[in-house]
Structure 1
Amino acid sequence: MKVQFLIFFLVAVRCQATESVLDLFPEFKQAIGGLQTRIDGLQTRIDGLERENKVLKAEVDRLGGGNVAFSSYMTEASANSQSASLTTGSTIKFDRTETNYGNGYSRSTGKFTAPSTGVYGFSWTFCVDSRTSDGGAWKYGEYGTQLMKGNSVIGLLHADTETRGDDACSTGFVIEYVSKGTEVYLRNIYDHTGKILSKMNQTRTTFSGWKLYQ
């Protein structure tokens, strides 16, 4: 009986010699075909996600355009020095930086040069003291500043103590489209009284900016 079964099996295999092995097992062939269909579907989804990822990455690059941000302030020594030397139209310099991503801000010139074109936000806080020197006579403190983009005025700020023996701070904020290579800076706009106030243990006179999008 066993010999007869073996002969029958060999004959059956020989008869199927021209067919694939999977044809001998139709249920396996059907299952593998189903798996292939699912794999093709998953590949289509993967291709679609990769295309979406490329689009999103391009949009992020367009909006960000690289990390650009700076935050600077004036030391007490610099505040005292500039208080004595600033004239109308002088550029105000901030000699310390907390951050300077993109290396756009120069402490030596006091100017920010845009590393790339885009929309930027700029903020500055200017503080004044009623005295012209520490321990000096109480007078009035008053300064006016302009935020410049190249040779154009894009922001104005006025800080005034109003009374003797007082100090005051004012803050300005501007959003502006800036082309690559354009300088943005602060300048003094009239003869001032008192002195710039910027002390580590009291308050800081600051200038900051960052890129919002391309």
Structure 2
Amino acid sequence: MMNFTVFVFGCLMLTYSCNGSMEEIVGELQRELQQLKMKTGNEIQALKTSITTYENEIQLLKTSSAIEIEILKEEINTLKVERLNGSEVPKRRFVLGTNSFAEKPAFSASLTNHATSLSNFQTIIFDNVFTNDLRGYSGITGIFTAPMNGTYFFTATVMSHSGEYLETEICMNGKSLVSMYSYDTHFEQGTNSVVLVLKTGDKVWVRHSNTQGSKAFGYHWSAFSGFMI
């Protein structure tokens, strides 16, 4: 029995002498455990980041889908008006609170909240709609779609924030037409107007232009209007 104990002790001593002391072995194991924890933590963080990215993409898809649905609704309304144009049904809509009918498109809308972080050529959506005869303007997309052929008048006023530059423009079918510019040490409004001959389905809207400024002042200090002459 004594000989066996001596043999085992000798083997342990030999192992320690070959592989280092007990403290070194424990230290090495602790370092490996710490590295494993760090690796696992990094993998968990990467997984959380991926989940957040996927959630953001899903939200963007939902928002994009909602906008596309509204655009489709607007296009359906336009098609309905086009059908009326081709028939003998009068192109009229009863105006609530009056005894008359709206026979021509007309709209007016303002910006409720500040439009911030505007990118180049981003549409400014005037969401507070006052008037929208024949439903040509969308408060969801910020775009006016001509429901019938004719000559139209458009005007836009956009206010810049205090001490900041802002360049905007009225465009038709993506083509820049007239520009607005504002800058002051306080607040200033840029405004412009244009008369256009439109065909059914032509689109007109206001957008940020160039790289000057990135914020439009809301609270109904900025507005967009248009009507058939």
Which category describes the TM-score, using the shorter chain as reference length?
0.5 to 0.7
Which consecutive residues of structure 2, in runs of 5 or more, have no partner in the other structure? 1-90, 92-101
Is 2:172 the partner of 1:144? no
Structure 1 stretches of at least 4 aligned residues deviating more than 3 Å after TM superposition: 192-195
- The alpha carbon displacement at 1:147 in A equals 0.8
Preserved contact between residue 124 and residue 206 of structure 1 (Cα < 8 Å): yes
Q: Which residue of 2 aligns with 1:16?
A: none
Partner of 1:67: 104
1:155-196: CA deviation from partner (whole Å, max 9, x where unpaired): 1111111x2xx0001211111111110110011112343732
Question: Per the alignment, in what secondary structure is the counterpart of residue 131 of structure 2?
Answer: strand
Q: Does 1:184 align with 2:204?
A: yes
Q: CA RMSD in A?
A: 1.8
TM-score of the pair, normalised by structure 1: 0.57
Residue 18 of structure 1 aligns with which residue? none
CA contact (8 A) 1:146 1:186 kept: yes
Q: Deviations over 1:21-68 (max 9, x none)?
A: xxxxxxxxxxxxxxxxxxxxxxxxxxxxxxxxxxxxxxxx9xxx9321
Question: Is the counterpart of residue 83 in structure 1 residue 103 in structure 2?
Answer: no
In structure 1, C-alpha distance between the alignment counterparts of 2:211 and 2:174, rounded to whole Å: 20
What TM-score, normalized by structure 2, do the two folds share?
Answer: 0.53
In 2: Cα distance, 1:147 partner to 1:113 partner: 14
Task: Answer whether contact 2:167 2:213 (CA < 8 A) is retained.
Answer: no
The size of the alignment, in residue pairs, is: 129
**Identity over aligned pairs, percent:** 28
Structure 1 residues 206 and 95: CA distance shift in structure 2, 3 A: same
Q: CA separation in 2, counterparts of 1:157 and 1:91?
A: 14
1:154 corresponds to 2:177: yes
Structure 1 gap ranges (5+): 1-60, 131-139
Bigger relative contact order, structure 1 or 2 (CA pairs below 8 A, ≥6 apart): 1
Q: Is 1:205 the equivalent of 2:227?
A: no
Match of 1:170 in 2: 190
Distance (Å, rounded) in 1 between the aligned partners of 2:174 and 2:187: 31
Q: Deviations over 1:112-133 (max 9, x none)?
A: 0000011000000111112xxx
Q: Which amino acid letter does the alignment assign opposite residue 116 of structure 2?
A: S
Q: Distance in 2 between matches of 1:145 and 1:170?
A: 8
What is aligned with 1:28?
none
Whole-angstrom distance in 1 between the partners of 2:225 and 2:166: 19
